[in-house]
Amino acid sequence: MDIELEQLAINLFDIGAFKFGEFVTKVGLKTPIYFDLRVLVSHPKIMTRLARMLLLFVEECPNVARICGVPYAALPLATLISIDSNVPMLIKRKEAKTYGTKKIIEGNFKPGDSCVIIEDVVTSGSSILETADILRREGLKVIEAFVVIDREQNGKKNIESHGILMRSLYTTTKLMTYLLKANKISPKIVKDVTDYLLISQAPIISPDTRLMMPFHIRASRCKNAIGSKLFNLMESKQSTICLAADLTKADAVIELADLVGPHIVLLKTHVDILEDFSDNFIKRLKELAKKHDFLLMEDRKFADIGNTVCLQYEKGIYKIAQWADVVTVHAIAGQSIIDGFKNSLKNISEPRGLFILAEMSSKGALTIGEYVQNAISIAQNSDIVVGVVCQSDIFSSPGLIQLTPGVKILKSSDDLGQQYNTPESVVNSGADLAVVGRGITEAEDKLAATLKYKEELWTAYIKRITS
């Protein structure tokens, strides 16, 4: 096997799978060597030989029921291994479908099936861990990962600390030995790479993921005071309800807030739908928020350029900046919208925060793909962002709050494309705060309905952090 690995390493070098110079890895580390195994798709004979070497690992692993390749570079290898071994393959999508079944895992399987992960190159191990996390949430058992190249930069340590055994065909050091022996690289390149490995390691990825950390610990990770307060409120009130008080009469909102206020942590309004809005309404609402210890969120979904957002936030008849603890913001305008809010906050003495809207609960929403990732990037790099409005676990920062709308005890949809999910399903999909609207506002006994949602959501949260 060693002779074949040596020859295969030379073949990989000859087709440009290894590059030397100055590069940056996915996790942001500068490196003098870069592995690009995507070129394999243009060299089927070499790709087949490589897949058969990995297949030896699969054959030594007992009771393998499924194979899953990390997208995208490892998918061709996983496909060839599946064909040769006759072990069914699964595909993890980059993001969940927004239509039909909304699957993030394609293929047939049943809970309890064992699944091995195939990957091309491991640096920090994050891609394997992300894949394993999703597979495990679907009920699959993930205990082994088979890799072409281990860069020897903490990836193996990270992966194995999460209960997954990792085996690789090559390490960077072994590859350097093969290539130097074949006169493909110089001793200086070997020294540069060796020195680099000694000083440049990927960060350790803690097994305590965001979803497993209790709120009181995550409160200390917040960059924003309102975010920290929300986490502590959820912990102290044992409630994760954000009540969507989408009513058109001021008195109706006030009456509802007074009734269920002790059992919610956030009251969400759309003040522009009120037919009788007044400054007195805001005064009464703030008094109730103080009395029952909950925060106020205006679900304005700001989406304009920075200067316009400043005016919409501070001015007009609503003067949102003066009373809303948090507001919702689309990421469509990019960083400029965050800068607009920062400018507005110079005139506000009380702490304020933003929820960035990354995904929507409506059918056919266009908040998918790169848009979502860019929204997450904005959220994770801002100290005024409290959290992210989304439908699934799409970020890892423990200091951010996932706010998920569309929650009903009975899963359903309305006639306008709004899709609902059960309390347990949204919590398992990453929700920290759950937006409950018509499940409470249209209930015959609104207090009883609130207590029911409070209990089911909190039970699901406790189960999530202790599982």
Map out the domains of the chain with their CATH numbers: 1-199 (3.40.50.2020), 211-466 (3.20.20.70)
Select from 228, 237, 375 the least CA-distant residue to 294. 237
User: What are the Cα distances from residue 384, in Å, to 174, 226, 227, 350, 360?
Assistant: 47, 9, 9, 13, 21
Rounded CA-CA distance 422/29 in Å is 41
Per-residue pLDDT of the chain (467 residues; tens, 9 = 90+): 789 999 999 999 999 999 998 887 765 667 899 999 999 999 999 999 999 999 999 999 888 999 999 988 899 999 999 999 999 999 987 655 444 555 778 999 988 899 999 999 999 898 898 888 888 878 888 989 999 999 999 999 989 888 899 999 999 999 999 999 999 999 999 999 999 999 888 776 666 578 888 898 899 889 899 999 999 999 999 999 999 999 999 999 999 999 999 999 999 999 999 999 999 999 999 999 999 999 999 999 999 888 888 899 999 999 999 999 999 999 888 888 888 888 888 888 899 999 999 887 667 767 666 778 788 888 988 889 999 998 888 888 889 999 999 888 765 544 444 455 788 889 988 999 999 999 999 999 999 999 999 999 999 999 988 86
- Known binding residue 268? Answer is yes
- Known binding residue 437? Answer is yes
User: What are the Cα distances from residue 333, in Å, to 314, 336, 357?
Assistant: 19, 6, 12
Instruction: Give the residue numbers annotated as catalytic, written as ranges.
Output: 299, 301, 304
- Which is it for strands 141-150 and 114-122: parallel, antiparallel or unpaired? parallel
Q: Which two tokens stand for residue 321?
A: 């900046």
Residues forming beta bridges with residue 122, ordered by sequence position: 150
- Known binding residue 261? Answer is no
- Known binding residue 49? Answer is no
Which DSSP symbol is given to 368? -
Q: Which two tokens stand for residue 192?
A: 């540069």
Whether residue 185 contacts residue 179, with contact meaning beta carbons closer than 8 Å, is answered with yes
Whether the model pTM is above 0.95: no
Q: Which two tokens stand for residue 171?
A: 């390490």
Rounded CA-CA distance 29/369 in Å is 25
- Known binding residue 418? Answer is yes
